[in-house]
Amino acid sequence: MPAPVRVYEHPLSPYAQKVKIALSEKGVPFEALMPADVGSGRVAGEFAAASPRGEVPVLVDGDVRLFDSSVIVAYVEERWPEPPLLPAAPAARARVRTLEEVVDTHYEAINWALAEIFAFGRAKGELAQRLAARAAEQTAALQTWLEPQLQPSGWFNGETFGMGDLCVAPFVNGSVGFGNGPKAGTRLAGWLARVNERPSVAAAASAAREAAAQAATSLGNVAELVASGQFKREYRDHRLEWMVRSGGIEVVLEGLARNNIRFVEFPGG
């Protein structure tokens, strides 16, 4: 009997949510595991061997070990082709992959930065207010961009729910948690209500809310660990870019001075 599929994840990671939703939609049983010290840069065991960047998610399927959510969901689509999650036409598939790229980079960076500010105390007072305001403005702009991407069917993917929808849902749900959800009465708000009724999305969103509630009780301890440099949050590409161009370069400089931020470095690099 083949070993069960394993997903190394954190419930709050939108990238991990994307993978779990895809597997659930395919009807693939999987075991969700949270690595010790996830997000700290200290990794070990099978997770470290599979993810040289020390990031979730990681998928283990027999001898196959994959990291990066986009690589994983592409593998899931090819490994378990039914039901298909990508539209059939090449142009439609390209549109869905464009959606995935936009939310994985631009959208994720905004929600991640808000967590840095409010959960990890990277900014206080006027700076925090200014960065939060920029995040709200940028979220609204992205949601305005997303609105016409919805197809006449009401789904991002095409005629039915699919990859386009499961890629977007975790990020828009994340915005709701920061008070930046879609405006009532918009097509995007209607889509969000509808997509959250799907068992796969609802399960991922519920796990994220539970994890957020648990984290809230220990944020003081985690913030202290971050401040002391024992827990280093990852700044790379789109996240670093967001903080710098949105007026938070002093956050980055302070993190470097305190040695409590990190960048991706492959083992031996």
Full-model pTM: 0.94
Number of Cβ within a 10 Å radius of residue 78 = 9
Element (H, E) at 111: helix 108-118
Structure tokens belonging to residue 80 = 């378990």
Phi, psi of 22 (to 5 degrees): -60, -45
Residue the block writes with tokens 């948690």: 177
Domains assigned to the chain: 5-79 (3.40.30.10)
pLDDT on residue 218: 64
CA nearest neighbour of 66 among 6, 146, 121: 6
Compute the distance between CA of residue 250 and CA of residue 27 in angstroms, rounded to an integer: 46
Alpha helices of 122-186 — where are they, by DSSP H? Answer: 125-146, 163-177
User: Is the preceding peptide bond at 57 cis, omega within 30 degrees of 0?
Assistant: yes
- Position 50 scores a pLDDT of 85
> At CA 69, angle to CA 38 and CA 194, rounded to 5?
105
pLDDT for position 267: 63
Sign of the dihedral through C-alpha 128, 130, 131, 134: positive
pLDDT at res. 128: 98
Q: How far is CA 224 from CA 212, 219, 251, 255, 261, in A?
A: 18, 8, 16, 13, 13
Distance in Å from the first CA to the final CA of the chain: 39
**pLDDT mean across residues, the chain:** 92
Residues (pLDDT < 50) of the chain are: none
